[in-house]
Amino acid sequence: IDNPDVSHLEQRILRCTRHVSGKHGAMIIEGTGHAGVGSCFGLSNAKVAKLIGAKVVIVGSGGIGKPIDEIALNMALFERRGVEVIGIVLNKVIPRKFDEVKHYVQKGATIIGTSLLGATPHVPALTFYRMEQIAEEFGYDVVVGKEYLHNPIRHTVVLAMRPEHGVKYIRENTLVIVPCDRTDNIRIAVSTLKNYSNSNGGIILTGCATVDRKMRTLLRGSDIPVLVSPEDTFKVSSRMVHLEFKIRASDREKIDRLRKLVGEHVDVDELVNRLQ
């Protein structure tokens, strides 16, 4: 913002684009957020698309009114830059409303001057994050269970109540957040999660930088990934509210499932035709 001359950034983008396109027959470029992201320093997604000569597919959230309105705003900015929007795809549509949403969004798309290329249903299993993502994003140390950091997390519980009350909240794929001085609750978390075998979630110990030898021995025999944070329980649990899942190269099952999902619900042939 202090130096609004983005010509050097544009040149870097063009060099990278030429480098990649020279090795591959096609490129898929993900523009994070909406068309205007980057406008604050003079290099919006719409401007970048124009710079590299890309056509655009807008991916919207599952719904009818709000998604269409948001897509219309995005289209306006792309059109202002002279970028062709070849269609839209809806993502994470509620399954029980799938046919209804698809029907009306197709009509709405026609009204705003585009068309629906497909819509994918919401699949909860694809939104699970893994213990390795938590450790990396928040910088938590791994006490034990590095080989189990791929464990998916579906539920999160703060185990601050009495053990006999807390145990009923622990299910498969549960992340248990517990103060490191609550040995009783740590033991309950370990013994309960062990019952779920390959779906045994994980544990975050709060309020300490490390654990003593006795506790480490208990945790090591559990086959459960355990992270540790010197921060208090409230701060650690609050962070989890804003954690967004990410699909990584190592998530082969998710990637295979997504490929199948897109193949079943998106007109890929038509999309490719419009890219010609």
Domain boundaries, the chain: 7-123+252-275, 129-241
129-241: CATH homologous superfamily? HprK N-terminal domain-like (3.40.1390.20)
pLDDT beneath 50: ranges in the chain: none
103's CB contacts (< 8 A; 6+ apart) are: none
Give the gyration radius of the chain's Cα atoms. 23
Q: What's the pLDDT at 109?
A: 93
Q: Look at residue 1 in the predicted model and tell me its pLDDT.
A: 67
pTM: 0.78
Indicate if 129-241 has the same CATH topology as 7-123+252-275: no
Distance CA 246, CA 240 (A): 14
Q: Which pLDDT score is estimated for 82? A: 95
Tokens 């025999």 found at:
221
pLDDT value of position 196: 83
- CATH of 7-123+252-275, picked from 3.30.465.10, 3.60.21.10, 3.40.50.300, 3.30.470.20, is 3.40.50.300
Task: Say if residues 139 and 112 touch (Cβ distance below 8 Å).
Answer: no
